[in-house]
Amino acid sequence: MAEQDAALTLFAGVFSRGDVDAGDAAWLQALLDAEAGLARALERAGLAPSGAGAAVTRAAVAADLSAAEVAEVARASELTGNPVPGLARVLGRRVPGFAAPAVHRGATSQDIMDTAAMLLARRATEVIRRDLMTAAGAAAGLARRHRDTLMIGRTLLQQAVPVTFGVVAAGWLAGLDEAVTGLDALAEARLAVQFGGAAGTLASLGDDGPAVTALLADELALAAPPLPWHTERLRVIDVAVAMARVTAALGKIARDVTLLAQTEVGEVAEGAAGGQPAGAPRRGGSSAMPNKRNPVASVAILGCSRQVPGLLATLVACAEQELQRAAGAWHAEWQPFSDILRLAGSAAAWGADLLGGLTVDAEQMAANLAATGGLPLAERVTGLLAGALGRPAAHDLVAGAAVRAVSAGVPLRDVLLAMPAVEQASVTADHVDAALDPAGYLGAAGEFVDAALHAHEELSTRDHHGQRDEENDHG
């Protein structure tokens, strides 16, 4: 166990960054929380003695378990196929005798495992949401500051028409806000307790089963489902999809940054890491090339996001489960479920770091745009000539002019003004200059930036209102 943890630590800085914890210790505490919540619910339902819930809750602290007790749970897991039977035995011995009957009463192992998974998902969602909002705030700042900063747009990795860095950052912002909205929808409606007993009927609790389920949901602040979902796994898939949306939004940003930070492009750069210990490698440094400054945060995000689709596919495949209890498919969920939470959390933490320190070189953007010699405005020049020549003829004329400009290494303007057809169309040099001005061919870019900022402000305002309401409730 110690050797395995040490090995995993080698990659934790990349793939376990941030505060999402879905490792063995977190699972153990979530399992204990589920058992404690059940004991409290049973007491509230009149099915356990007064004080039993508090007694079980006091005993259900993972950090208080001895190494021998943890080892016992691990060994029992090998014998029973999951850790819950062994944990229930250990927990039953740790509580006063009067409270022991409240431990695990009415539950099956999957009830505790699935409820623990939902608790892990809720805790991860809270952390990831916080980091996403930090990243989104930084993206909003970039969009606001660079609303009108001109740069070349690129489609299929080739230069296209001009855009602004503001609209690029606004696109990043919109993706992050959409990911946050998905997490909110997940937390509000899809994270539910699991409580069905042996075969999903809660037969051992008689008529009290539904009431205990509702109380359990209340104790753990999870939703109470209409019925147990032992072999209906859409909630698990919904968690995975929400995490995949998170990493997709962040992966888009990271990929853009890696492309724009290339030496030959040089339009953005990642910031340096603060608080590094003396003698530590330089952020972005190479073991072989002292001159290099690699976009480490972006690369780490992409390293996380590339793993998530496979994990999502595994969890979707696991949803085909037999009758009232799956033979293996449920077990196959545990590790990919943990991994997808961990990777989404790491990507979100990296994303907050990346966007919070991103530097933008507006001068290099202007230089790269100017280096095109007006070619990205060919579409606009075509529109200028279409009235006199017709659109097909204008298109062909401008296409030919672009070829000649590239082959001769001269600006498109010079080639166009030397063409008799342009003069015959009564198009003057001033007309051509105006058409080749990138600032005049941005369409609704500014409006799109404003709209994205407005939507983000509404999301942030809802957050502030919600926090005030929560503070008032606890006041």
Q: Is 286 considered catalytic here?
A: yes
For 90, 313, 395, 411, the CA distances from 68, given in Å and listed in that order, are 10, 37, 79, 78
Picking from 354, 335, 348, the residue whose alpha carbon sits closest to that of residue 125 is 348
Torsion sign over Cα 362, 368, 371, 375: negative
Name which of 23, 32, 56 is nearest 42 in CA terms.
56
> Annotated catalytic residue: which of 58, 325, 404, 460?
325
| Residues 130-151: b if buried by 16+ CB within 10 A, e if exposed | bbbbbbbbbbbbbbbebbebbb
Helix (H, G, I), strand (E, B) or coil at 160: strand
Helix (H, G, I), strand (E, B) or coil at 105: coil
Q: Does residue 253 contact residue 354 with C-beta atoms inside 8 Å?
A: yes
Q: Is 18 left (phi over 0), alpha (psi -120 to 50) or beta?
A: left
Query: Dihedral (C-alpha) 29, 35, 39, 45: value to the nearest 10 degrees?
Result: 120
SS3 450: helix
Choice among 66, 75, 204, 286 that is catalytic: 286
Using the CB atoms, write b or e for 369-402: b if 16+ within 10 Å.
Answer: beebbbbbbbebbbebbbeebeeeebbebbeebb
The set of catalytic residues is 286, 325
